[in-house]
Amino acid sequence: MTLLTVDNLTLQFDTDEGRITAVDGVSFEVNAGEVLGLVGESGSGKSVTAKSLMKLNPGNAIYTPESKITLSLEDETVDVLSLKTNKSLRIVRGGAVSMIFQEPMASFAPAITIGDQMVEQLVLHKKITKKEAKAISVDMLDRVGISDAAKRFNQYAFELSGGMRQRAMIAMALSTNPKLLIADEPTTALDVTIQAQVIDLMKDLVAEFNMGIIFITHDLGVIAQTADKVAVMYLGKIIEYGSVRDVIRTPIHPYTQGLINAIPKLDDLDAELTPVAGDIPSPLERPSGCVFHTRCPVAEPVCSQQVPDMTAFDANHTAACLVAARERSAA
Amino acid sequence: MTEKPIISARDLSVHFTLRGGALFSKQTLKAVEGVNLDIPKGSFFGLVGESGSGKTTLGRAFLKALKITRGEARFDDGEVDYDLVTLPKDKLRDYRKRAQLIFQDPYAALSPRMTVRDIIAEPLEVMGLTSSREETDERVREIAAKCRLNLEHLRRFPHAFSGGQRQRISIARALVSNPRFVVADESVAALDVSIQADILNLLKDLQKELGLTYLFISHDLSVVAHICDHVAVMYLGRLVETAPTRELFAAPRHPYTKALLSAIPSLDPDNKGDAQKLEGEIPSPTNPPSGCKFHTRCPYAIDICKSVEPELTHSGMEHDVACHRWEELAEA
């Protein structure tokens, strides 16, 4: 069942230096019980895309009229971008959609106990008493693997370790029973052994709650281990989209290929590390045509003039590359 | 090894005194404890461990940026032989020239109010290594070219540069005094993968060209596997295993090293990395466990591990491990 449909999302910011396009014609779907990985480097627009789903972008954000984000719940269909008042936005801000952030220390209020923060949002979203909310919170803390949950409930964020804080963050995000969970680099600040624990926990939770998850990260290894589908972003565009096996094993777009070649692999220590040439262009100087042509090893003159469309290369595998599309139709 | 190591440490310890929770109470944090380590000249030496393992502290102790509490540390580059514990002030300036640091975050490490030329030239001026502006400029241009910086960029300010270019500026600044030993502390951790490979290749090229020895501190084992020739693994201030890179990755002996390796997410979606997921988290260094510091999380811990701290012992050619049970576990 399709839970979330993002269609032709284009988002611009008005800044002192001019209008910046942060997200450009992005479309994807998330089904219930499915993990979509959103991969890209800094400045690729992955976090901005995720924030659009909750309308959390700052006031200078402009959504084009064609942009559409639809959340299909059991009893209603929500047109997210048309929500205006804070009250109506609650459904996507903690109600049916929850978010986990990268830095759990910065996401908890430092002077309020973990428990009070969990109870506050529960009471806001559900018609329950504080006492019921406390019971739900303690139970949730217990389920994400926090030992001595009743004691932790009364502690402050600084009293917990990094991994524990991220677990508490997950518990808080899940306590309202969201249908869609957005996880923005949830394991980046954690050590590898703790990262492995958090990834396992999240996988168990998808299965248990049948949620849809959007997992944002720059780490393709983490994506390979968690996601069902993956969307690769570059300069605000999705340039490749497909099942995680297809995209990682047979990447089509030169950028995805470059990204995979640049990762040091443990099973072949002699392999040369090949960086993707050049630097990500500034958002103020967006390249014409294909946004990747300035760094692309196979770029042709046409790439700087024509914007490539997403082309289907396989049943569930699309990519936006003129050269690859031509070679395919020639073959 | 016939040549003398450039850095050698014996029983090296760095402790910090913390003020405790109660008034006037004091706690000792043993950030680095009893480290024995030789860094061969000309090596790319990796130091790995999770946050709180003491890897940064150890690196800074070698740079004499911290007070060494106990033990010995020597620096010998063939020209000078310094005892780092008792190094007198007048020699310290010379040591600063020979041992340098590349920082993690290229956004925080560069002053936004100085031009790139001034940032790179500052160490020369502070250390008084050049006698005229012309000489300084020439040295700056030379090192900037080696670090693949465009010479036109020298007049600009750091804000105009991307993460990768900034890291090249920090590297140029660290290398301008022509050091022999460079500590690179998480120097690629803040960079995107596509840029990371570029900086790693640059570090490697510079090593060959300038004959450098690196201590490369990182939490990322796959990066270390690719670039380092030796690796030391730290846990709660102790070295738990050291070996040549290939040896360590092919046949890790310490249960912690094994767990670290199996925790790296594989790029193959069907390789679920099975093995040994560690329970729990690294204990607080102010209140470390007794015996082997790893026993609280170790799947193989037995009684002796709880009471007796294992020493780092030879388990083969250049392969040292600190575990009571490594022999049994290697057979199993």
Report helix, strand or coil for B282: coil
How far apart are alpha carbons B268 and B231 in whole angstroms?
Answer: 25
Interface test with A, best of B192, B236, B249, B260 (most A CBs within 10 A): B192
Task: Using an 8 Å CB-CB cutoff, list chain B residues near A162.
Answer: 51, 281
User: The tokens of A284 are what?
Assistant: 């103020």
Nearest to B260 among A192, A225, A245 (CB): A192
ipTM: 0.82
Name the band, by pLDDT with cuts 50, 70 and 90, for residue B263: confident
Burial class (CB in 10 A: 0-12, 13-18, 19+), A132: middle
How distant is the alpha carbon of residue A162 from its chain centre?
A: 21
Can you tell me whether residue A93 is helix, strand or coil? helix
Lowest-confidence pick of A29-38, A318-327, B1-10, B241-250: B1-10
Write down the H helix ranges in chain B.
55-62, 89-98, 116-127, 133-146, 163-175, 193-210, 221-227, 245-250, 255-262, 303-307, 326-331
The candidate with the shortest Cα–Cα distance to A281, out of A240, A239, A234, is A234
Domains present along chain B, CATH in parentheses: 7-331 (3.40.50.300)
Per-residue pLDDT for B24 more than 70?
no
Count how many Cα atoms sit within 13 Å of the Cα of residue B255 in the half-sphere of its side chain: 24
pLDDT of residue B1: 46
Contacts for A283 with CB less than 8 Å, ≥ 6 apart? A20, A21, A22, A43, A235, A236
A264 and B226 within 8 Å at the Cβ level: the answer is yes
Question: Which residue in the set B200, B264, B267 is minimally distant from A248, CB to CB?
Answer: B267
Q: Chain B residues within 8 A (CB-CB) of chain A?
A: 50-51, 162-165, 192-198, 200-201, 219, 221-223, 225-227, 245-246, 249, 259-261, 263-270, 272-273, 277-279, 281-282
pLDDT at B21: 62
pLDDT at B140 over 90: yes
Tokens for A317, please give them: 């595998």
Q: What is the DSSP letter of B79?
A: S
DSSP-derived 3-state class of residue A96? coil
In one-letter notation, the amino acid at residue B103 is F
Average per-residue pLDDT for chain B: 91
CA distance B201 to chain A (A): 7
Query: What pLDDT digit, counting tens, does each position of B154-174 carry?
Result: 999 998 888 888 999 999 999
CA–CA distance, A218 with A280 (Å, rounded to integer): 14
Interface touch B282/A191, C-beta < 8 Å: yes
pLDDT confidence of B276, banded at 50, 70, 90? low
Q: E strands of B236-310, at which residues?
A: 238-244
What is the average per-residue pLDDT within B116-128?
93
Cβ contact (<8 Å) for A264 and B162? no
Q: Which of B193, B195, B225 sits opposite A266 (nearest CB)?
A: B225
pLDDT exceeds 60 at position B289: yes
Strand-strand pairing, A2-15 and A68-72: antiparallel
A264 and B282 within 8 Å at the Cβ level: the answer is no
Instruction: Give the pLDDT score at B124.
Output: 94
Distance between CA atoms of residues A124 and A94, nearest Å: 9
- Angstroms from A76 CA to nearest CA on chain B: 35
Contact A41 B261 (CB under 8 A): no
Q: How confident is the model at residue B266 (pLDDT cuts 50, 70, 90)?
A: confident
Query: Looking at residue B23, what is its pLDDT?
Result: 65
Query: Looking at CA atoms only, how far is residue A86 from chain B in angstroms?
Result: 36
A215 pLDDT exceeds 70? yes
Minimal C-alpha gap between B54 and chain A (Å): 14
Distance CA B208, CA B195 (A): 21
Q: Do A224 and B266 touch (CB under 8 A)?
A: yes
Q: What is the DSSP string of A266-295?
A: TT-TTSPP-PPSS-PPPGGGPPSSSTTTTT
Confidence (pLDDT) at B2 = 52
Residue with tokens 């201030």: B237
pLDDT category at B97 given cuts 50, 70, 90 is: very high
Chain Cα centroid distance, residue B27: 26
Q: Do B153 and B147 touch, CB atoms closer than 8 A?
A: no
pLDDT of residue A189: 76
In which band, very low, low, confident or very high, does the pLDDT at A322 lie, cut at 50, 70 and 90?
Answer: very high
Residue ranges covered by each domain of chain A: 1-96+178-270, 107-177
Q: Which residues of A touch B (CB under 8 A)?
A: 41-42, 161-164, 191-197, 199-200, 218-222, 224-225, 244-245, 248, 258-260, 262-266, 269, 271, 273-276, 279-280
Which numeric CATH code is attached to A1-96+178-270?
A: 3.40.50.300
Chain B residues in contact with A199 (beta carbon < 8 A): 265
Asked if B34 and B96 count as a contact pair (C-beta separation under 8 A), the reply is no
For B222, which of A245, A264, A276 is closest by C-beta distance?
Answer: A264
